Amino acid sequence: MKGALANIGETDLSNTAQKLEQAGNNRDITIISSETPAFIDALRLLVIKYKPKEKIGSAELSDDDMAFLREKLNLIKGACEVYNISGTKAALNDLKLRAWPRVINGLLDEISENLLCGKLKDVTKTIDTFVNTANADLHGESG
């Protein structure tokens, strides 16, 4: 947990995770019982922070929305390929500021989860799969 949190730039939470891990190793129930509730609350807020907003209405994307989505996904993919976590987070945060249809929110959730776990190669695979599927849909091909 501490490594995953550090990977996404959540250093305070990473430090708390390390403190709790050390308390567990030392069997220090006092620290564990006093620090864990606040840590869990902070993790819940982190999930809310990274959870994309749901688009109300049509599941169709405008050409501008699709261009913005592709641009940011390409930035995320490129940043992952060179282990640029801050670049990845910035592009993902830009995407999460917009409301998207459920399928795009699912994509963003999957990217966020893989980033949280430090699975950068899985992020690039997820993006490639989405882009290939979207291209097939645009050209009337079956996936």
* Residue 39 CB contacts under 8 Å (≥ 6 apart), including other chains: 13, 16, 17, 20
| pLDDT, tens digit, 9 for 90 and up, residues 19-30 | 999 999 999 999
| pLDDT, tens digit, 9 for 90 and up, residues 45-67 | 887 777 765 554 435 678 888 89
Rounded Cα distance, 24 and 8, in Å: 24
Tell if the pTM clears 0.75, that is, is over it.
no
Number of Cβ within 10 Å of residue 138's Cβ equals 9
pLDDT of residue 142: 42
Phi first, then psi, for residue 99 (nearest 5°) are -85, 135
* Residue 38 CB contacts under 8 Å (≥ 6 apart), including other chains: 16
* Residue 134 CB contacts under 8 Å (≥ 6 apart), including other chains: 66
pLDDT of residue 23: 94
Q: What is the set of domains in the chain, with CATH numbers?
A: 2-50 (no CATH), 55-138 (1.20.120)
Each of the 143 residues of the chain gets a pLDDT tens digit; together they read 888 888 888 899 999 999 999 999 999 999 999 999 999 888 888 877 777 655 544 356 788 888 999 999 999 999 999 999 889 999 999 998 888 888 898 899 999 998 888 899 999 999 999 888 876 555 444 44
